[in-house]
Amino acid sequence: MQAVRIDKWLWAARFFKTRSLAKTALEGGHVHYNGQRAKPSRNVEVGGKLRIRKGQQTFEIEILALSEQRGPAPVAQALYSETPESVAERQRQAELRKLAKAADATPQQKPNKKQRRNIRAMKHGADL
């Protein structure tokens, strides 16, 4: 196998649950192949570099093998290798999100009925 469509490869490598999700990400500009924005019909080859943005995470990987079939997770992980910089950056971002969540002032319990009425009144500008 010389080349595989990028949407099929992303699906086979388990970056996306379906090919249509992979296609949507490609059309949205969330996937770059060798530094350029990729279209779903673009063919990938061994040695190519991919930058995939999924939610708040960014993966920078090198393609090691090609596949058009989705297999078990260990087989899918053998299709690529993630750069050490990408792994470190994802871990740093996860730590920042964790710290931001810890600093967030969330209430200990849900507001009761009277408190909900007061909140609604404040939002709509009525007197308490």
3-state secondary structure (DSSP) of residue 6 = helix
**Domain span at 5:** 1-87
Give 10-31 pLDDT, tens digit per residue: 999 999 999 999 999 999 999 9
Number of domain units in the chain: 1
Give 60-115 pLDDT, tens digit per residue: 999 999 999 999 999 999 999 999 999 999 999 999 999 988 887 778 899 999 99
CB 21 within 8 A of CB 40: no
Q: Is the dihedral of CA 8, 32, 14, 73 positive or negative?
A: positive
Element (H, E) at 50: strand 49-54
What pLDDT does 16 receive? 95
Residue 52 in any domain: the answer is: yes
Residue 88: both structure tokens together: 């470190």
Residue 34 in any domain: the answer is: yes
Residue 101 in any domain: the answer is: no
Residue 70 in any domain: the answer is: yes
What pLDDT does 121 receive? 92
- Please determine, for residue 126, whether its predicted confidence score (pLDDT) is greater than 80: no
**What is the reported pTM?**
0.77
